[in-house]
Amino acid sequence: MEMYTTQKIYRYSLIAIFLLVITSLNAQYSPEFLKYNKLYPEASRVRLYQETIITIEANKDGLEINQKFIEEDLYLNESATYNSKTRLNFSAFFELDKISAESLSYNGEKYESTAVEKYTEKDELNDSFYDDSKSLNFVYPNLQKGSKSKLEYSQNIKNPRFLSPFYFGDYFPVLKNKVTIIADKGVNLEFRKFNISDDKIQFSQDKKRGKIIYSWELNNQEEYDFEANTPSFKTFLPHIVPIITSYKIKRKEVKLLGKVSNLYDWYYSLVENVNTEPASPELIALTNKITADKKTDLEKVKAIYYWTQQNIKYIAFEYALGGFIPRESNEVFRKKYGDCKDNSSILYRMLEIAGVKGNLTWIGTRKIPYTYEEVPTPVVDNHMILTYEDKNGRTYYLDATGRYIKFGIPTSFIQGKEALVSYGKDFKIKKVPVVDAKVNSIIDNTLIKIKSGSVIGKSTTAIDGYPKIDLFHDLENENTKIKLQELYNAKLNKGNNKFLIGNFKEINKYDYDKDFIVDYDFEIKNYSKKLGNEIYINLNLNKDLSYFKTDKKREYAIEYDYKRYHKYTTTLEIPEGYKVDYVPENVSVSNEFLESNITYKKEENKVIYTHEIILNFLILSVEEQKEVNKLIKKIERNYKEIVVLIKE
């Protein structure tokens, strides 16, 4: 009995100690933390409160616009330390006004505040249309699991055309999100909504003391999971784009935005006086030299376009409206560098010297999902190119910011996008075509022999379109034979990881118009199997289609840079003394997004294997991914099929 009582007391003591430890651990965290840590066990943080307040006031000089942001976050795991480093972006158009940041640590009873004292300003170079961005960098002190951060800052918007979208969601839960716009009565606004369900968001509009108050609130918004290769977050995050259409000053109405024509009129006002100075004699001489032997306008355009790609280095660094106004072509020619607008400026002038008409063109990259009608503000585009229209009405989209871009195809990141094309005081909206899959081709012809279980082969791989452009950029960094061999081993891999390239020859390297061809020999050790009188070999040396099978748990659409066409032909020389005992059946699958087939043909002492793939998509929705996955699985089953050779 005494022993039983002792054991019982010991057990109760352990329970008491365990409860004491649990109570002590919980005491380190606030009730607020314990609540949300339980509600969102997978989240690294939760935004407790987010508010945006935009005030728009009219005065004798125009509009004064200020936007204030308030953010309060609670950190639910150790990633708080990583999130302690923060930065705010601003520019000449978004002038940082005031800032206050603090971290709050729970001491067992309450939160104690520690203010951020050091802020560091840095220049930020990015790919935006106006590229004078700066950042204010700071670190929240003592931020850890269970801590909170609070940030308040304000910006002055220097141009009323640059009201930014506001978002009701993020990659973490947002418990309360409120946006308020307070505008003078004479300021007219429109709001373009995207991915918003009206039954979830609370909207109100009120008038008070000569002001119109617009308010939106969305609470308890679940987090959005990050997935690789998802189209722009603008395609799924709920958001609103505010537009100031007009305002009154001294009873006079000033029209601003709301229609594409309003946006174009402003854009044109910024470029109509560019290139008014005469072209320099040096630029004229160069243009005449480049086009001297060219008989047609199309040949002249092509020659000038290639020269610009090869000789004008792309550097994006702008300030204020300089981000919208191209530099003079003489200056670009003298410096030999410029941004997208500067490249367009010199292209325009050189075509003009050659007696050809080009058109300045504004366009948004595929990161921006809006049409010009949907969002007729500077939010809709971030790039400038030049367009040329031939006598048959075909439009060529000339983007000289990159290299190796073949004349006749646009850069991959503007495929399918609307282009705002300038015709003096008039404009047209055109749509950039999506490049056909067969233009972006990888065509491989391989001859293989079996020798002591290994495969010895010779291949010719011809590459064109966007895959060629990508490879040329990779090749720029490989300046030795060993590095080139390593690159080709990775890019041209066949069979398995024992694939090894020997000698290789490059044909048409860095040529804009011709296929890039690599001739090479290779070995794959121990690739075939010999059992008794039989040899087994899998001729599916390239299994590229498997890379496009998506995770069945994926929640969002997936985006690719371009459509693709692959064709692999492998010819197996049958070893002397053997004959074909078995070849797999041919297989063919297709739908509107994907076509693929595998065929086998016996011919004298050879087996000829052909695998053709057409990937006819840029973006696949979740449902479309499922349809594509079904076909890929059918092909993958055939990737396991083997050819059997038997001794005669």
- CATH assignment at residue 630: 2.60.120.1130
Q: Which of 232, 255, 278 is the last residue of a domain?
A: 255
User: What's the pLDDT score for residue 13?
Assistant: 46
User: What's the pLDDT score for residue 566?
Assistant: 98
User: What's the pLDDT score for residue 23?
Assistant: 40
- CATH assignment at residue 196: 2.60.40.3140
User: What's the pLDDT score for residue 125?
Assistant: 57
**245 and 118 in a common domain:** yes
Distance CA 246, CA 256 (A): 5
Q: What is the mean pLDDT of residues 514-530?
A: 96
**156 and 60 in a common domain:** yes
**427 and 470 in a common domain:** no
**500 and 530 in a common domain:** yes
**Looking at 76-225, which runs of residues are DSSP E strands?**
85-90, 94-106, 111-115, 120-123, 134-139, 148-157, 166-167, 174-184, 188-194, 202-208, 211-221
pLDDT at 633 over 80: yes
Instruction: Determine which of 168-182, 331-345, 631-645 has the lowest per-residue pLDDT on average.
Output: 331-345
Confidence of residue 326 (pLDDT cuts 50, 70, 90): confident
**449 and 407 in a common domain:** no
Q: What percent of the chain has pLDDT over 70?
A: 93
User: What's the pLDDT score for residue 7?
Assistant: 52
Contact present, 69 and 154 (Cβ < 8 Å):
yes
CA 215 → CA 177, 201, 237, distances in Å?
A: 11, 10, 19
Amino acid identity of 635? Answer: I
Per-residue pLDDT tens for 146-204?
Answer: 999 999 999 999 999 999 999 999 999 999 999 999 999 999 999 999 999 877 899 99
User: What's the pLDDT score for residue 327?
Assistant: 87
Q: How many CB atoms lie within 10 A of CB 373?
A: 12
- Residue 198 phi, psi (nearest 5): -65, -25
Confidence of residue 69 (pLDDT cuts 50, 70, 90): very high
pLDDT at 19 over 80: no
**407 and 281 in a common domain:** yes
Per-residue pLDDT tens for 148-164?
Answer: 999 999 999 999 999 99
Instruction: Determine which of 8-12, 56-60, 399-403 has the lowest per-residue pLDDT on average.
Output: 8-12
Confidence of residue 315 (pLDDT cuts 50, 70, 90): confident
**448 and 417 in a common domain:** no
**620 and 547 in a common domain:** yes
Q: How many helices (H) and strands (E) does the chain have?
A: 11, 36
Structure tokens at 349: 């002038």
**Got the DSSP string for 376-414?**
-SGGG--EEEEEEE-TTS-EEEE-TTSSS--TTS--GGG
Mean pLDDT of the chain: 92
Q: Which of 274, 294, 419, 295 is nearest to 347 (CA)?
A: 274
Q: Which of 381, 411, 431 is the last residue of a domain?
A: 431
Q: Which of 431, 465, 498 is the last residue of a domain?
A: 431
- Residue 370 phi, psi (nearest 5): -85, 155
Q: What angle, rounded to 10 degrees, do the helices at 281-291 and 297-311 form?
A: 120
Distance CA 32, CA 287 (A): 70
- CATH assignment at residue 305: 3.10.620.30
**273 and 239 in a common domain:** no
Contact present, 589 and 570 (Cβ < 8 Å):
no
**612 and 560 in a common domain:** yes
**Got the DSSP string for 86-97?**
EEEEE-SSEEEE
**88 and 117 in a common domain:** yes
pLDDT at 105 over 80: yes
**344 and 247 in a common domain:** no
Confidence of residue 25 (pLDDT cuts 50, 70, 90): very low
Per-residue pLDDT tens for 356-368?
Answer: 999 999 999 999 9
Q: Which residues span the domain enclosing 28?
A: 2-38
Split into its structural domains, the chain has a count of 4
